[in-house]
Amino acid sequence: MFGKIKRLRQQGRRLSDREIGAAQATEGEVRVYGLGNSIVASVSDRNAQVGAPLLPDLYEVRLITMNGAGMLLKGEERPQGDTGPAYVQEWSVRVSD
């Protein structure tokens, strides 16, 4: 599904409503899939056949709430190569055409 995504946390800390409102949304193709025993959400450029993700993947992702064309996904954001700590992350997703 294509949508506009806003990250609601920075290194696990929940951003204020003002910070979230001022943040630029990332537009891309949201995919949720199984990887081993984990569920992963990723965002990529809908026009790219292969490419780097637009946001770090969310692992152990869960759908928290859904309302109309909006949804809240929550999971664990891990650094590239699994080096360093993982943080709780939430995505506010507004689905569009």
Is the pLDDT assigned to residue 42 strictly greater than 90? yes
Structure tokens at 59: 């692992």
Is the pLDDT assigned to residue 49 strictly greater than 80? no
pTM score of the predicted model: 0.88
pLDDT on residue 51: 66
> Cα–Cα distances in Å, from 29 out to 25, 39, 62, 76, 93?
13, 16, 17, 19, 11
Is the pLDDT assigned to residue 71 strictly greater than 90? yes
Query: Which range among 8-12, 29-33, 44-48, 69-73 shows the weakest confidence by mean pLDDT?
Result: 44-48
pLDDT on residue 8: 97
Query: Mean pLDDT across the chain, nearest whole number?
Result: 91
